[in-house]
Amino acid sequence: MPRFFLAGRYPIALALTLALALPFIAHSIFKQFRERNLSNRHKVSLKIVGVLFILLSIDGLVSTGASKSYLKDAGQWIAASQTTQQSTLFTNNQSVSFYAGSQNGKRIREHNFNAILQKIKNNKS
């Protein structure tokens, strides 16, 4: 499955390229709408697209996913239970590091657990 991974920068470039046509399409639809040349099927399609556009706009403003308050709680717990300021925090999450108040936190970008342990051992020595 990992061989089918697509980096995030490629779909964004494609979407921006395809978005260049949107003003022309919108102008054409508006022109037909103003001249009342739309069929009933086009009117229904236009209403559905409008409602979807509004819903997606609202979804971008309001978080509908699972709460991530556990990351804040974990960071605050680490900050409260930290015994010395010289300790180093290893985490793979930026939110945990932020709420832990870790100025010297190190972000780990490894997917293999053994590689993570090896990095921690190398840093302590």
Determine the pLDDT at residue 103. Answer: 60
Q: Where are the alpha helices (DSSP H) in 20-112?
A: 22-34, 40-61, 69-81, 94-99
pLDDT in tens, the chain (125 residues): 455 566 666 788 888 898 999 999 889 888 887 887 778 888 888 889 889 989 988 887 887 777 888 988 988 888 888 766 667 777 777 788 888 876 655 666 666 778 777 877 777 64
What is the reported pTM?
A: 0.42
Contact at 8 Å (CB) between 123 and 105? no
Give the three-state DSSP class for 30. Answer: helix
The residues, any chain, with a CB within 8 Å of residue 119's CB and separated by 6 or more, are 90, 108, 110
Q: What are phi and psi of 91, to 5 degrees?
A: -150, 160
Determine the pLDDT at residue 106. Answer: 61
H/E element holding 90?
strand 90-91
The residues, any chain, with a CB within 8 Å of residue 95's CB and separated by 6 or more, are 68, 71, 72, 75
